Each structure stands twice: as structure tokens, then as C-alpha cells.
């Protein structure tokens, strides 16, 4: 396959950025999207140019690091992570636009790399439970009802990639935050911090500069792990409950 890539190049956070065209040839349909970018970077290095900076780690769809907007879609045309997107999703001769996440709370570091530490601070503000020190408790020490366990597992699948923020026209982090809140608030182990968790995490989310939610649903559509949209409504109920109790 021969492709034309239009890649966002930005030297650093303070420099202006621009879409730069590149031609790549010999791309196999069985390559992953990141392997295609590796091929581009090998070509750039051989030509004496600066390679394109992009985030990646596990390349197994687990870590959520591979954050790219491809032809206007977070993670590309398939509902998966960028590392699990294969070039057979494109055709020979295609022009592909590759950009970083676009959100005020995710400033560009370089090229396609953005700073997603705002997510870390949201988790730090409430993503924990009260547990005694010492050895790990027995797995069956606290009984968890099956519906609660299913809900917790469903929301624990969130990998924090930020596709929900990139897809949202408002740059909202409501789906991410709700996944973390509902995950722990569904379990009896999370009950002691139930009220403070939702108040602190929502407060931190707002302080980080994420936009408001207007229920467009693009976040759930782009989520590679299928976090459901109703998670936001569940978190809103938790927030009202906690605010009233406060």
C-alpha cells in the first residue's frame, strides 16, 4: 500500500504546529497503525529528519497510551485502540490525517504526544478505598453481590486512554470520571469514601479544565472498552446524593 499521511508536527508546547504531508510506501495491510508510523519514522531518520513523536507502550490494547485522532476519529475508524487498528482498515492511495487529542486539559507536549496527567490527578483525588495495613485480606472476606460485581468489572475496564475526551465536542471527562466513580462506589469496599469520592473527583475534573457534558454520546461511541453512557447518569445521582448529605 502507498499512503499519504498528513501528520501534526509541533516542536514543543509553546511552538505553533502544522499538518505536514509524508508519503509512505510498502505498507502491509497486516501492519498495525503504530507499525506503519514506525515505518514512517525509520524513513525520516534515514533522511536525517526528526521522527514523529507519539505515545505507545504495551501495543496490546491494554495501557491506553496510543492516543491518536485518525481522520477525525479518536483511535481511528474501528472501535479499538490505535495499536490494535490495522492498515487493512484503509485502502491503497488513501490520505490519512493524524492528530493528537484535542482538549484544553490535554496540552500538546510534542507532535502527537499530549500530557494526560490531569487523569492521574482525578484518580488521586478519590480513586482509592480504606483498607487496613498488613497482608492482603481474604478474597471472600467481604461478600459482593453478583450485580454489583458485574457493574464494577464493567467500569474497571476503563484504560484511561482519553478517547472520550477527544471525541467529545466539549472536551468533557465525564465518562472517564464516572467509570472510576461507579467502579468503586458499586463495591462494599468503596462505601466509606462513597460521598467524598464523587465530590472530590468531580471537583478535580472541573478544576483541571475539562468541558461540561451535554449528553451527545460521542464519548461512549469512541470508548474502545465500551464504557456505557448511563455511567454518567449514575455518577450524577451519586453526586446529588453526596451533595445533599454534605
Residue with cell 458499586: 186
pLDDT at 232: 97
Which pLDDT tens digits describe the chain residue by residue (246 residues)? Answer: 999 999 999 999 999 999 999 999 999 999 999 999 999 999 999 999 999 999 999 999 999 999 999 999 999 999 999 999 999 999 999 999 999 999 999 999 999 999 999 999 999 999 998 877 788 777 778 889 999 999 999 999 999 999 999 999 999 999 999 999 999 999 999 999 999 999 999 999 999 999 999 999 999 999 999 999 999 999 999 999 999 988
**To which CATH superfamily is domain 116-245 assigned?**
Alpha-helical ferredoxin (1.10.1060.10)
- Alpha-carbon distance of 225 to 221, in angstroms, equals 10
On the CB side of 100, CA atoms within 13 Å amount to 28
Domains 3-110 and 116-245 share a fold: no
3-state secondary structure of 121: helix
Phi, psi of 24 (to 5 degrees): -125, 140
- The predicted structure's pLDDT at residue 120: 97
Cα–Cα distance measured from residue 187 to residue 82, given in angstroms and rounded to the nearest whole number = 32
In a 3-state reduction of DSSP, which class is residue 18?
strand
Please tell me what DSSP assigns to residue 52: P
How confident is the model at residue 82, as a pLDDT?
Answer: 97
Domains of the chain: which residue ranges?
3-110, 116-245
pTM for the model stands at 0.93
- For the 3-110 domain, the top CATH level (class) is alpha beta
Q: Are 137 and 131 in contact (CB under 8 A)?
A: yes
CB 172 within 8 A of CB 219: yes
CB of 68 closer than 8 Å to CB of 85: no
Q: Give me the torsion for CA of 86, 87, 90, 95, rounded to 10°.
A: 130
Give the CA-trace dihedral at 3, 220, 211, 63, to 10 degrees.
Answer: -60
- Residue pair 179/231 in contact (Cβ under 8 Å)? The answer is yes
**Model pLDDT, residue 155:** 97
d(CA 10, CA 21): 13
Q: Tell me the per-residue pLDDT of 147-179, one tens digit each, with 9 for 90 and over.
A: 999 999 999 999 999 999 999 999 999 999 999
Amino acid at each position: 500500500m502507498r499512503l499519504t499521511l498528513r501528520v501534526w508536527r509541533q516542536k514543543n508546547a509553546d511552538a505553533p504546529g502544522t499538518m505536514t504531508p509524508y508519503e509512505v510506501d510498502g505498507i502491509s495491510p497486516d501492519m498495525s497503525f503504530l507499525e506503519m508510523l514506525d515505518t514512517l519514522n525509520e524513513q525520516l531518520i534515514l533522511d536525517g529528519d526528526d521522527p514523529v513523536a507519539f505515545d505507545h507502550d504495551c501495543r496490546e490494547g491494554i495501557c491506553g497510551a496510543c492516543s491518536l485522532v485518525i481522520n477525525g476519529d479518536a483511535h481511528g475508524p474501528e472501535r479499538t485502540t490505535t495499536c490494535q487498528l490495522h492498515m487493512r482498515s484503509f485502502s491503497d492511495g488513501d490520505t490519512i490525517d493524524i492528530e493528537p487529542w484535542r482538549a484544553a486539559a490535554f496540552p500538546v507536549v510534542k507532535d502527537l504526544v499530549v500530557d494526560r496527567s490531569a487523569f492521574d490527578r482525578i484518580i488521586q483525588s478519590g480513586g482509592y478505598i480504606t483498607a487496613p495495613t498488613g497482608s492482603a485480606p481474604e478474597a471472600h472476606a467481604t461478600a459482593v453481590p453478583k450485580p454489583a460485581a458485574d457493574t464494577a468489572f464493567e467500569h474497571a475496564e476503563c484504560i484511561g486512554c482519553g478517547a472520550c475526551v477527544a471525541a467529545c465536542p466539549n472536551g468533557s471527562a465525564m465518562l472517564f470520571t464516572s467509570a472510576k466513580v461507579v467502579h468503586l462506589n458499586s463495591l462494599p469496599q468503596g462505601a466509606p469514601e462513597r460521598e467524598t469520592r464523587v465530590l472530590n473527583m468531580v471537583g478535580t475534573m472541573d478544576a483541571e479544565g475539562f468541558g461540561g457534558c451535554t449528553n451527545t454520546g460521542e464519548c461512549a461511541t469512541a470508548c474502545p472498552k465500551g464504557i456505557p453512557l448511563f455511567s454518567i447518569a449514575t455518577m450524577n445521582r451519586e453526586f446529588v446524593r453526596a451533595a445533599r448529605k454534605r
